[in-house]
Amino acid sequence: MKVSRDEMQRLTELLRQAYWGKERCEVGTQWQSSVMAVIRQMGPVRSTPPFLSTFEHLVWRLAPATSLLTLGLAALLASMDVVFEYDLFQLFLNAIEESTLAHIFGV
């Protein structure tokens, strides 16, 4: 069955009235004393947020910067001559193998 725009509007208006009518129901006041009892039991509220939540906040705040830094470093490493660095490292290692304690302490 097709429902026209006007029909739907009429129905919506009735439902809207029913929705706002929910506000008129009466609620007791017992909850107020319950809230205050719980709050008194909890004691003063902490003015500084717990460490974990602060840390969590910090992690998310730093996440974009960390990602950018990682990408930048990756790009830098990719553009560098890795083979040359490797040769230099090998040369350094060989030099260590050949040297003795006497050489190191200059005796």
| Region 37-96 residues binding other proteins, contact defined as CB under 8 A | 38-40, 42-49
Shortest separation between residue 58's beta carbon and other proteins, angstroms: 16
Q: Does 7 bind other proteins (CB under 8 A)?
A: yes
- What 3 state SS string does the chain have? CCCCHHHHHHHHHHHHHHHHHHHHCCCCCHHHHHHHHHHHHHCCCCCCCCHHHHHHHHHHHHHHHHHHHHHHHHHHHHHCCHHHHHHHHHHHHHHHHHCCHHHHCCC
Residues that bind other proteins (CB under 8 A): 1-3, 7-8, 10-12, 14-23, 25, 27-28, 30-32, 34-36, 38-40, 42-49
